Amino acid sequence: MTAPALRARGLTRVYQDGSRRMPAVSPTDLDIPEGKFVTIVGPSACGKSTLLNMFCGLDRPDGGSIETPALGPGGLLGRVGYMPQSDLLMPWRDVTGNAAVGLECLGMAPAAAHQRAAAHMKQFGLEGFEHAYPGQLSGGMRQRVAMLRTFLCGRKINLLDEPFGKLDAMTRTAMQAWLLDYWQENACTILFVTHDIDEALFLSDEVHLMSPRPGRIVLSLPVDLPRPRRYGEVVTSVAFNRLKAQLLDQLGKVA
């Protein structure tokens, strides 16, 4: 058992909508082991994004605690990698400039940041598009630029919020395989959020199922499928479908 990179205990979040209290996240315990690929899967608006927002320091929990033993003491803002649902590329920056945004925010000189970004273009399948503007890119490429922007910051923990949610099925499958390759080459901890059960099982070491609002974790499932994984083989295997049945069964009970 590896030490957790991130540990949450009794985490809660309540939104105030006028005089109405809208609980978004019920008391939640979660351990993300270091170096693992962990996914939270759940229906839309179940509080998955709220959870990530708290983990990266953008949102304050109303109760409970977040510890990050892997990072040491200090605030979370700027120390946890975060990739939101929409790519949020700046239309006025070219591909290299967009990829360098994270580094520049961390205080790196623009020229050095651009150089660092440029060195990764091939690895992220962006070769030849270094100076293209976001408006000229396909959805998959935009997503890779956004991911490069996050990964360039070199954080030990990376939170990815439905990064492939807006992609078509084929691009999505390709991006999943590509992400797994990247993760296996670069030891880091990934907490991934999706509402796609296939995606969750294919990518992860552990899957946590969240209930509809107010979200809480109702099932935690280790995914001991061998790696490296090939999409076609994995999603048609008996072991995969047994796990999928378990998740769907539990989802049917809470939804």
CB of 65 to another protein, least distance (A): 20
- The helices-and-strands tally (H runs, E runs) of the chain is 9, 9
Question: 157 CB contacts (<8 Å, ≥6 apart)?
Answer: 5, 6, 32, 55, 68, 70, 71, 80, 81, 188, 189, 190, 191
Q: Which x/- pattern, by CB under 8 A, does the window 96-115 give for another protein? A: -----xx-xxx---------
Contact positions with another protein (CB under 8 A) in 140-159: 153
User: Which residue in the set 23, 27, 34, 79 belongs to the binding site for another protein (CB under 8 A)?
Assistant: 79
Site for another protein contains 73 (CB under 8 A) = no
Tokens 């006028």, residue located: 18
CB nearer to another protein: give 131 or 227.
131
Site for another protein contains 95 (CB under 8 A) = no
CB nearer to another protein: give 147 or 180.
147
- Report how far apart the first and last C-alpha atoms of the chain are (Å, whole number): 32
* 189 DSSP β-pair partners: 157
C-alpha to C-alpha distance for 207 and 17, rounded to whole angstroms:
31
User: Which residue in the set 84, 163, 214, 215 belongs to the binding site for another protein (CB under 8 A)?
Assistant: 84
CB of 142 to another protein, least distance (A): 11
Cα angle 66, 161, 229 (rounded to 5 degrees) comes to 105
- Kindly determine how many residues on this chain lie close enough to bind another protein according to the rule CB under 8 A: 26
User: Which residue in the set 2, 65, 136, 186 belongs to the binding site for another protein (CB under 8 A)?
Assistant: 136
CB of 167 to another protein, least distance (A): 16
Stretch that binds another protein, among 3-11, 25-33, 87-95, 218-226 (CB under 8 A): 87-95
Contact positions with another protein (CB under 8 A) in 6-65: 56-58
Residue 151 and residue 143 in contact, taking contact as beta carbons nearer than 8 Å: no
Rg of the chain over CA atoms, in angstroms? Answer: 18
CB of 207 to another protein, least distance (A): 24
Question: 98 CB contacts (<8 Å, ≥6 apart)?
Answer: 89, 90, 134, 145, 146, 149
C-alpha to C-alpha distance for 47 and 210, rounded to whole angstroms:
8
Site for another protein contains 184 (CB under 8 A) = no
Site for another protein contains 88 (CB under 8 A) = yes
For 38-51, the DSSP string reads EEEE--TTSSHHHH
> CA 204: distance to chain centroid?
11
Site for another protein contains 163 (CB under 8 A) = no
CB of 162 to another protein, least distance (A): 13
Query: Which spans of this chain sit near another protein (rule: CB under 8 A)?
Result: 56-58, 77-80, 82, 84, 86, 88, 90-94, 101-102, 104-106, 133-136, 153
